[in-house]
Amino acid sequence: MAAPDPALLVVDDNEDNRYTLVQRLKRQGYSNLTTAVNGREALDLLRAQPFDLVLLDVTMPEMNGYEVLAHLKADSRLRHVPVVMISAVDQVESVVRCIELGAEDYLPKPFNPTLLRARVGASLEKKRLRDELEAHVARIEADLESARRIQMSMVPSEFPAPTTEEPVGIFASLYPARQVGGDLYDFFHIGPRTLCVVVADVSDKGAAAALFMARTKTLIRTLARLMHGAGGAIPEPHEVVTRMNGGTLPG
């Protein structure tokens, strides 16, 4: 089903053709219709406001439909606007050229109402699905970027300079192969003279590896502090679970 009230642009230098096409589209339920009398006006309109579909005449003075289509496909903001080419020329070469330039479809004059309805509806449906896909990808990318920032905040970013009491210098950088990954580095003190340094690599990449990395970091810190408090003895599983679930581990 087409999006509600899609915006259509009809481009034709012939007034009778414009009127006929607009009236046919209105009878088919489309009301958000704009017209342009030549290619330059069409490009100005497309750059000024969004359209869901362009019905573009091939044969026009100054700038023909082929040239308008080439300009659209060269513009990163407009290249995804679907274009249905319209012309009285029914030669195969004309159809092939339009498709090669990126047209969504092709309609011959005089307009066949059934063919017009089918091709306009199909073009709008393709655009709707493409817009939904792009929105879905954008949401995923935004989520991954948020996850990347959260993950980077979990690893140390400030490294104190060595001192006489703590003469070890630590420097590290984390560059995930994707937005998020499973690589891990960490360092922390568990006593006045005990410094723990952790470097780990979780197999695979992506969100699953990043979540496993976050859990692993907490587990390593828990085990290190429990073992230190027990004089190096390995803690019982229930001790680890209690600490992690209870949130009693400082830091």
Query: Which tens digits make up the pLDDT trace of 189-243?
Result: 887 778 888 888 777 777 777 777 877 888 888 888 888 777 767 777 777 777 6
Parallel, antiparallel or unpaired: strands 194-201 and 183-191: antiparallel
For the cut 90, the answer to whether the pLDDT of residue 108 exceeds it is no
Query: Which tens digits make up the pLDDT trace of 27-74?
Result: 999 999 999 999 999 999 999 999 999 999 988 888 999 999 999 999
pTM score over 0.75: no
DSSP state of 86: E
For the cut 90, the answer to whether the pLDDT of residue 169 exceeds it is no
- Which amino acid, one-letter code, is at 66? Y
**Rounded Cα gap, residues 55 and 220, in angstroms:** 63
Report the topology of domain 8-140: Rossmann fold (3.40.50)
Domain boundaries, the chain: 8-140, 155-246
HSE-CB at 136 with a 13 A cutoff on CA atoms is: 6
